[in-house]
C-alpha cells in the first residue's frame, strides 16, 4: 500500500512510518523542516499551512491511504498560540480529510483522549466531550472538521508512549531518563490514563486501516493506571529505584494549561471490531524494555544525525 504519514518525525509518526515500512508498505513521510538519515522510507518536507502546495505534493504521490499524525501537541505552545493551534490542529486536518474524500482514499486522523474533561472516566466514543485546554479544544475542533468533511474518515483518540527521535518526547522517556540518572522526580497519583505503547498503537492503526474501519474509536490500552504507578512500573522493569518517584497530586500544582484527571477510555468498540484485545499495560512496558535491550532507542537517534 502506498501510504502517506504526516508528522513523520514525531513520536507516533516516526514509529508508525517504520512499522508500516517493515510490513512492506511504500511509505512517504511528511515533515515540516526536519531531515532524517538512513530511514527505510521516503521523507519529504512540506508546510501543511501552505495547503495548496501540500495537496499538490500529496496528489502527485498517488497515495492509497493517509494517516494524519501532525499536530501542535505541546500544551504550553497551544495555550500561548491559540490561533496557530487552531490552524494546525483543526483547519489543516479538515482540509486534508476533504481532499482524501474527493480522491476516494482512506483517511485516518489522530486525535486525543483529552477531548474529555476527566470528571468521571470510563468514556465511550459517543459520550459528551468537554475539552479543558486550548490544545484539547483545537483537537476536538479537528475531529469535527474531519467528520464534517469526510464521514468515512477514521478518527482515533489515542494516548501513547515509547522511544522517540530525541529521546525526550514521551512520559516513559521522562521517567527512564530521570531514573537512570538517579534523580528524584514526581509522579501524579490522581492522573489516571490508558497508555498504549507506540509500536502497538502503530500496528493497531494499520490493522484498522486494512479492516476499513470508519468513525471514532478509542485506541488506547484496555487498562488504566495513575501516572505515578506507570513510573513505578517502568522503574521496576528497568531495574531502577522506584523510591525516587514521589507520589503527588496533579491538582495541587500550577500547570501551564488545565488538565483532565480521569482519562480512562473504553476500548470495547475497537476490540470488538478487530476481534481481539489490545495489549495490556504490562505487555507495553515489557515491549518498551525489550526494544531498549535491542538498541532501538539508539537506532532512532542515528536517524536524526
Give CATH superfamily name and number for 2-167+193-223+265-285.
NAD(P)-binding Rossmann-like Domain (3.40.50.720)
SS3 assignment for the chain? CEEEEECCCCHHHHHHHHHHHHCCCEEEEEECCCCCCCCCCEEEECCCCCHHHHHHHHHHHCCCEEEECCCCCCHHHHHHCHHHHHHHHHHHHHHHHHHHHHHCCCEEEEEEHHHCCCCCCCECCCCCCCCCCHHHHHHHHHHHHHHHHCCCCEEEEECEECCCCCCCCCHHHHHHHHHHCCCCEEEECCCEECCEEHHHHHHHHHHHHHCCCCEEEEECCCCCEEHHHHHHHHHHHHCCCHHHEEEECHHHCCCCCCCCCECCECCHHHHHHHCCCCCCHHHHHHHHHHHHHCCHHHHHHHHCC
Distance CA 161, CA 182 (A): 21
Which tens digits make up the pLDDT trace of 43-98?
999 999 999 999 999 999 999 999 999 999 988 899 999 999 999 999 999 999 99
Quick one: which of 74, 8, 12, 30 has its CA closest to 205?
Answer: 12
Give the model's pLDDT for residue 55.
97
Question: Contact at 8 Å (CB) between 196 and 278?
Answer: yes
Considering the chain, what is the average pLDDT of its residues?
96
Decide if 135 is catalytic: yes
**Residue 273 pLDDT > 70:** yes
Which tens digits make up the pLDDT trace of 159-175?
999 999 999 989 999 99
Give the model's pLDDT for residue 259.
77
Count of Cβ atoms closer than 10 Å to residue 52 Cβ: 8
Residue 272 C-alpha cell reads as 470488538
pTM of the model as a whole: 0.96
Give the model's pLDDT for residue 203.
98
Which tens digits make up the pLDDT trace of 171-208?
999 999 999 999 999 999 999 999 999 999 999 999 99
Quick one: which of 164, 232, 167, 158 has its CA closest to 196?
Answer: 158
Distance CA 171, CA 162 (A): 8
CA atoms within 13 A on the CB side of 281: 18
Q: Map out the domains of the chain as residue ranges.
A: 2-167+193-223+265-285
**Residue 136 pLDDT > 90:** yes
Give the model's pLDDT for residue 258.
74
Q: What is the mean pLDDT of residues 127-150?
A: 97
Distance CA 27, CA 57 (A): 14
The one catalytic residue in 135, 228, 296, 303 is 135
Residue 173 C-alpha cell reads as 522517556
Residue 276 C-alpha cell reads as 481481539
| Interior/surface letters 257-279, b for 16+ CB within 10 angstroms, e for the rest | bebbbbbbbbbebbbeebeeebb
Amino acid at each position: 500500500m502506498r501510504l502517506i504519514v504526516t508528522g513523520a518525525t514525531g513520536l507516533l509518526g516516526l514509529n508508525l512510518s517504520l512499522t508500516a515500512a517493515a510490513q512492506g508498505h511504500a511509505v512517504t513521510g511528511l515533515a515540516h523542516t526536519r531531515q532524517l538519515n538512513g530511514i527505510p522510507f521516503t521523507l519529504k518536507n512540506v508546510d501543511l499551512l501552505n495547503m495548496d502546495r501540500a495537496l499538490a505534493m500529496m496528489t502527485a504521490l498517488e497515495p492509497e491511504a493517509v494517516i494524519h499524525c501532525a499536530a501542535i501537541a505541546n500544551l504550553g505552545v497551544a495555550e500561548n498560540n491559540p490561533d496557530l493551534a487552531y490552524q494546525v490542529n483543526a483547519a489543516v486536518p479538515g482540509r486534508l480529510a476533504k481532499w482524501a474524500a474527493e480522491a476516494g482514499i482512506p483517511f485516518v486522523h489522530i486525535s486525543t483522549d483529552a477531548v474529555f474533561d476527566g470528571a468521571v472516566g470510563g468514556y465511550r466514543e459517543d459520550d459528551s466531550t468537554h475539552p479543558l485546554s486550548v490544545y484539547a479544544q483545537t483537537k476536538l475542533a479537528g475531529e469535527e472538521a474531519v467528520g464534517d468533511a469526510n464521514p468515512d474518515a477514521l478518527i482515533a483518540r489515542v494516548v501513547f508512549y515509547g522511544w522517540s527521535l530525541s529521546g525526550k518526547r514521551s512520559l516513559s522517556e521522562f521517567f527512564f531518563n530521570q531514573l537512570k540518572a538517579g534523580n528524584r522526580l514526581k509522579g501524579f497519583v490522581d492522573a489516571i490514563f490508558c497508555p498504549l505503547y507506540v509500536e502497538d498503537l502503530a500496528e493497531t492503526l494499520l490493522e484498522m486501516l486494512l479492516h476499513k474501519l470508519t468513525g471514532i474509536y478509542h485506541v488506547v490500552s484496555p487498562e488504566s493506571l495513575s501516572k505515578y504507578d506507570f513510573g513505578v512500573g517502568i522503574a521496576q522493569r528497568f531495574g531502577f529505584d522506584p523510591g525516587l518517584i514521589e507520589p503527588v497530586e496533579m491538582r495541587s500544582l500550577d500547570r501551564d494549561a488545565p488538565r483532565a484527571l480521569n482519562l480512562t477510555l473504553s476500548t470495547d468498540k475497537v476490540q470488538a471490531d478487530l476481534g481481539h484485545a489490545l495489549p495490556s499495560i504490562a505487555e507495553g512496558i515489557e515491549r518498551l524494555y525489550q526494544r531498549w535491550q535491542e538498541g532501538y532507542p539508539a537506532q532512532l537517534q542515528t536517524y536524526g544525525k
